[in-house]
Homo-oligomer: A and B are copies of this chain.
Amino acid sequence: MNEHPLIARRSLATELTGRLRDMIVEGTLKAGDKISEPDLCDLFGVSRTPLREALKVLAAEGLVDLTPNRGGRVARIAPEAVEELFPIMGVLEALAGELACARLDADDLARLEAMHAEMVGHWRRGEWVPYSGLNRRIHEEIFRIAGNATLAGLYQNLMVRIHAVRFVARKTPERWTEAIEDHERMMAALRARDGAALSGLMREHLRHKADVVHEALRQLGAPEQG
The chain A residues found within 8 Å of chain B, CB to CB, are: 9-11, 13-14, 49, 52-54, 56-57, 59-61, 68-69, 81, 84-85, 87-88, 90-92, 94-95, 99, 148-151, 154
Contact = CB atoms under 8 A, between A and B. Distances in A.
Nearest to A13: B56
A194 to B, nearest CB: 18
Nearest to A54: B56
A20 to B, nearest CB: 13
Nearest to A59: B57
Contact of A148 (B10, B69, B88, B92): B88
Q: Is the interface of A mostly helix, strand, loop or mixed?
A: helix
Nearest to A88: B151
Contact of A95 (B81, B87, B99): B87
A150 B88 contact: yes
Contact of A53 (B56, B91, B99): B56
A9 B69 CA distance: 9
Nearest to A93: B91
Contacts of A59: 57
Nearest to A11: B68
A13 B154 CA distance: 24
A73 to B, nearest CB: 16
B87 A151 contact: yes
